[in-house]
Amino acid sequence: MDPLNTFYNHLNENKDNDKQLLLKIDIEGAEWDILDNLNEILLTNVAVLIVEFHGFEKINDILIFKRVLKKINNIFSVFHVHGNNCSNLLSVNSKLFPNVIEVTYINNNYINSKQQLNVPLNDTDNMINCFPWQGYNLNYWLSE
């Protein structure tokens, strides 16, 4: 089996160190450790970051969630959130929460100004990942 390669090595091997990149991370739960250990400087060339976050049932290890989200939020702003209906909802502080969410981030260097749009999340995102299950309504997030 070939050894696993790192994001840093991919950047160097492909001479992408100074390019604006789109990075998609969908690695079935390993994203937390990868992002936790990734040097923040490597993310500065990423213009768009798309992450499918798994493992919210492990919320008892909240420190890794906080570290990773703080690292991402230092560089990026949330552009889009989608609750993936491939697994059951979790109850977190008496609120239902998808066990898998897909988040698209934009690098803050590409944003001139920010404003929160109060649009219904389910109206703008009707994609159902796993047929025939219903999609998840995340509109209550707007009132939090």
Query: What are 68-126's pLDDT values in tens digits?
Result: 889 999 999 988 887 777 777 777 777 777 778 888 999 999 888 777 666 555 544 45
Cα–Cα dist 82/100, whole Å: 9
Predicted local distance difference test score (pLDDT) of residue 47: 92
Domain residue ranges of the chain, discontinuous segments joined by +: 7-143
Among candidates 74, 26, 13, 23, which has minimal Cα distance to 47? 23
Q: How far is CA 57 from the centre of its chain?
A: 16
Residue 29 has pLDDT above 80, yes or no: no
pTM of whole model > 0.85? no
